[in-house]
Chain A
Amino acid sequence: MYRETEIIQDNANGGLNAGDGDLIINVGPQHPATHGVLHLVITLNGETIKKVEPHLGYIHRSIEKMCESLSYRQFIYVTSRMDYLSAHINNHACAMCVEKGLQVEIPPRAQAIRVLMDELTRIASHELWWGAMAMDLGAFTPFFHAFRERETINDIMEETCGARLTMNYMVPGGVMHDLHPNFQRRVKEFLGLYKRKIHEYDELVTGNVIFQSRMKNVGVLSAADAVSYGCSGPTARGSGVSCDIRKLYPYEIYDKVEFDEVLETGGDSFARYMVRIREMQQSIRIVEQLIDNIPEGEFQAKTKAVLKLPKGEFYTRVETARGELGVYIVSEGTTTPYRIKFRSPGFSNLSVLDHIARGSKLGDLVAMMGTLDLVIPDIDR
């Protein structure tokens, strides 16, 4: 509660509550640590952070408004550009929402393909996070090691979906086209590569003394705060909050595959780090279960050429690599949505940054931002 009064006071003097000897630093909109156009106004006392104020909007493309003038088939393509690291999962959430409105059952093959693609995307996203976070901490080499594995996934995606980043593969009713004949072989190759190389991750970063001292007891987020700020995904699970949508509200065939929800109780940067590292292994588990058991049959349900959702409101949520993504469609019964709202995980996860950063050093802020895994186009949309 003290925070609210402080914010009011801050606004009274122009949003900056700087005392004597305080240094106000603009980190961003162009800064190596923000990985995008995030702007943080940081009040520093020496090296100690007194306040962090995120300024958003530098990459706002009004995706929600754009979606209102696009048909139900078209708007899914735009959502690949929100959280570009988990494009599949964004597409998936939107396709699911439209299917909910149309009341279409999608074939089992499409469900299996969707889950496979989601989990591969999750691994790719966590790989990139791992490299980028290590780079924030000043270690450059992990980035390239992470990209070695990530490129393999991107190649698999390219073969099947035709794109490496903005896949646009999920469509209402299933997936756009069938898997590439090489898909299973190449995924198995990837699994082999990943298992051979995963020990390098621990040797290079996780077990490093400097890394651990930079991460442990830094940016501690209590479970209660994680809930009250609306954190989701690995950020909240690092604080021991069970919030995996795949477990709590299973969609597609997530209730049929075996995997564990990864929980850590530390709440510090290291806990958030470990959640993601262990989550990659759980995703590998899911991929392993599904890769030989993709059901035969149709990859797409029969839908009309022009989709019209019945009048009403529809909401679906999925677990992206960063947390809970909600898609809310208000339909007036026409071919375009009346209103679309995305509940993006990055926005809520960013809001916690000021809370956990106060009192720590400037170098730690970068580590915290790394472990929150912020993707700026996801925050701004």
Chain B
Amino acid sequence: MWSFAHIANELHNWLSNQFNPTWTLIIEMVIAGVAVIGLFAMLGLILVIMERKVSAWMQIRLGPNRVGPKGMLQSLADTLKLLVKEGLTPDGADKLLFNVAPFIAMIVAMLLLAPIAFASNFQLWDLNIGVLYVSAVSSLMVISILMAGWSSNNKYSLMGAMRSGAQIVSYELSAGLSVLAVVVMSGSLQVSDIIESQRNGWWIFKGHIPLIIAFITFIIAVTAETNRAPFDLAEAESELTAGFHTEYSGMKFALFFLAEYVNVFIVCSIGATLFLGGWMPFHIGNWTGFNHAMDYIPSSIWFFGKTFFLIFVIMWFRWTFPRLRIDQLLNLEWKYLLPISMINLLVVTAMAILGWHF
């Protein structure tokens, strides 16, 4: 079996035979770090080309089609261009904060990759408070945006950052509450436990209507949390030119750009893990033959398939909806999403106590 878990185990055994445990650990950590950076870069490239192709498809045009086969190397070419561009720091900017902000955005995105189960038994760090860790670390994102907006010494940047601050802090609440609905159902904060609890059916199917509501709230809230359209008020190019990253150029801009796409990947993978069973294959009750056929599809394909489906949905939002206004955005959260997800959490809790689920 050439699964990710198999490769990881083989590697671990080989390293343990060659080195003492301390060196094994250090080498494994270096490999994991390089893998995360590689994954980070790969995701950026893949998601950018995917977004451009999806938008082209929705906008009845072809999209990039010159660099590489069907334009698939376009984002690589763009990255190279951004690498060699001059990274300007404006005169009036707070130099330290200005230059640190994009790295914080990137580090936050990298940290978030830690507890995600990419395939069965393949996880960087299966900590026992995985879901809490994700909620906690993802809220650090707002710091980098506020830093970028404040230090740029630009009014557009400042307004974008302030909008983004209000938005991320608000939408975190309903994202957190809808995640809690799953946590209450599965009775664990550990990512592997939550996936294991979905062996006999994904939560979106066996959680009745309350978990479907939680799923929808989650998707809306994370779209807002990642500053994607229709909630892209922090950038709002027709109002604020580019919002918080107006003054950034070259690779520093590219880091923000990468972090945004990796964040989209992460929130979608969290959504896929919590509601759509992570790497669990799709099973239907007693259809044994069908279930066996589904089991033959590798777990990593299940995980990435579900995640990319959710990413597609979020891209679909972006290329369909107009942007909300700041007061409408906050009204939507505080007057609609938050009360709904709070009541929903109560219902889910009652269901979990009374055992009203499959």
Binding site for B on A (CB under 8 A): 23, 25, 31-33, 47, 134-141, 143-145, 148, 204-205, 208, 210-211, 213-214, 361-366
Contact = CB atoms under 8 A, between A and B. Distances in A.
Contacts of A47: 159, 163, 326-327
B57 to A, nearest CB: 10
Most chain A Cβ neighbours within 10 Å, of B159, B232, B323, B326: B323
Given A210-B321, A362-B159, A362-B239, A138 B229 contact: yes
Contacts of B323: 137-139, 210, 214, 363
A363 B328 CA distance: 11
Contact of A25 (B58, B156, B326, B327): B156
Nearest to B329: A363
A47 B233 CA distance: 12
A347 B238 CA distance: 22
B239 A33 contact: yes
Contacts, number: 82
Contacts of B319: 140-141
Contacts of B326: 47, 361, 363
B60 A361 contact: no
Contacts of A139: 320-323
A182 B325 CA distance: 47
B16 interface: no
Interface string B103-121: 0000000000000000000
24 contacts: A25-B155, A25-B156, A32-B237, A33-B238, A33-B239, A47-B163, A137-B238, A137-B322, A138-B321, A139-B322, A141-B55, A141-B59, A141-B320, A144-B60, A144-B61, A145-B59, A205-B322, A210-B321, A213-B328, A214-B322, A214-B325, A361-B325, A363-B325, A365-B239
A145 B58 CA distance: 10
Contacts of A33: 238-239
Contacts of A140: 55, 59, 319
Contacts of B156: 25
Interface in B232-267: 232-233, 236-239, 241
Residues of B in contact with A, size category: 20 to 34
Contacts of A144: 59-61
Contact of B322 (A32, A134, A361, A364): A134
A363 B163 CA distance: 12
Given A213-B328, A363-B323, A138 B232 contact: yes
B238 to A, nearest CB: 5
B60 A136 contact: no
Contacts of B233: 363
A47 B325 CA distance: 10
A17 B28 CA distance: 63
A144 B324 CA distance: 21
Contacts of B210: none
A211 B238 contact: no
B236 A138 contact: yes
Contacts of A361: 325-327
Contacts of A137: 238, 322-323
B58 to A, nearest CB: 6
B176 interface: no
Given A141-B58, A144-B59, A362-B239, A204 B320 contact: yes
A98 B126 CA distance: 82
B230 interface: yes
Interface string B158-187: 010001000000000000000000000000
A-B CB proximity, top 8 nearest: A138-B323, A137-B322, A144-B59, A139-B322, A363-B325, A33-B238, A136-B238, A138-B322
Most chain B Cβ neighbours within 10 Å, of A136, A140, A211: A140
A148 B321 CA distance: 19
Most chain A Cβ neighbours within 10 Å, of B155, B319, B325: B325
A156 B236 CA distance: 36
Contact of A208 (B58, B163, B322, B325): B322
Nearest to B229: A138
A361 B159 CA distance: 12
Contacts of B60: 144-145, 148
B59 to A, nearest CB: 4
A134 B230 CA distance: 12
Nearest to B231: A138
Interface in B307-336: 319-328
Given A140-B55, A361-B326, A361-B327, A208 B239 contact: no
A188 B2 CA distance: 61
A118 to B, nearest CB: 28
A363 B325 CA distance: 6
A23 B155 contact: yes
Nearest to B320: A141
Contacts of A210: 230, 321-324, 328
